[in-house]
């Protein structure tokens, strides 16, 4: 149990286009999800906290108008990279905290590799 999926697993797009990444909790509900970005040979950087039914909370330095987050339901959060540029190429990962009985754990999606040409 406690599986988080992401779609797509990889995407290549042209500069200036927008890309949507989905994060789903498959067998549990998640009122909160987290979005991370990871550049090669670097650690995960928290971008934002996605909250079901309310606005996302962005970390300092992350442009909320560029990285649109929508927490549409208790099992789905989406991250849209708007007007993507090559410097946005990265590995994007989402996570969701475990429910009752598994507090303290976070479950991570497999990640989405974005390449912007």
Partner 1 sequence: DAKTTQPTSMDCAEGRAANLPCNHSTISGNEYVYWYRQIHSQGPQYIIHGLKNNETNEMASLIITEDRKSSTLILPHATLRDTAVYYCIVSGNNRKLIWGLGTSLAVNP
Residues 6+ apart with CB under 8 A from 83: 16, 17, 18, 66
**Contact status: 91 vs partner 1 (CB under 8 A):** yes
The answer to whether 105 contacts partner 1 (rule: CB under 8 A) is: yes
Size, binding site for partner 1 by CB under 8 A: 24
Return the residue of 12, 46, 72, 74 that touches partner 1, per CB under 8 A.
Answer: 46
How far, in Å, are 3, 5, 99 from residue 105 at the CA level?
Answer: 12, 16, 9
Does position 61 bind partner 1 by CB under 8 A? no
With respect to partner 1, which residue has the nearer C-beta, 44 or 82?
Answer: 44
Distance (Å, rounded) from C-alpha 19 to C-alpha 54? 22
Q: Which residues contact 101 (CB under 8 A, 6 or more apart)?
A: none
Which of 56, 97, 114, 116 forms a contact with partner 1 (CB under 8 A)?
Answer: 97
Considering only 44, 62, 68, 76, the residue that binds partner 1 (CB under 8 A) is 44
């Amino acid at each position: 149990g406690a599986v988080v999926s992401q779609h797509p697993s990889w995407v290549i797009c042209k500069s200036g286009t927008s890309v949507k990444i989905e994060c789903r909790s498959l067998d549990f509900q998640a009122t909160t999800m987290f979005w991370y970005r990871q550049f090669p040979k670097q650690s995960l950087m928290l971008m934002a906290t996605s909250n079901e039914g309310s606005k996302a909370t962005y970390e300092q330095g992350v442009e909320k108008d560029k990285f649109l987050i929508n927490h549409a339901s208790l099992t789905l959060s989406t991250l849209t990279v708007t007007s993507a540029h090559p410097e946005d190429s990265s590995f994007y990962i989402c996570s969701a905290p475990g429910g009752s009985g598994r507090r303290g754990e976070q479950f991570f999606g497999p990640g989405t590799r974005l390449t912007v040409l």
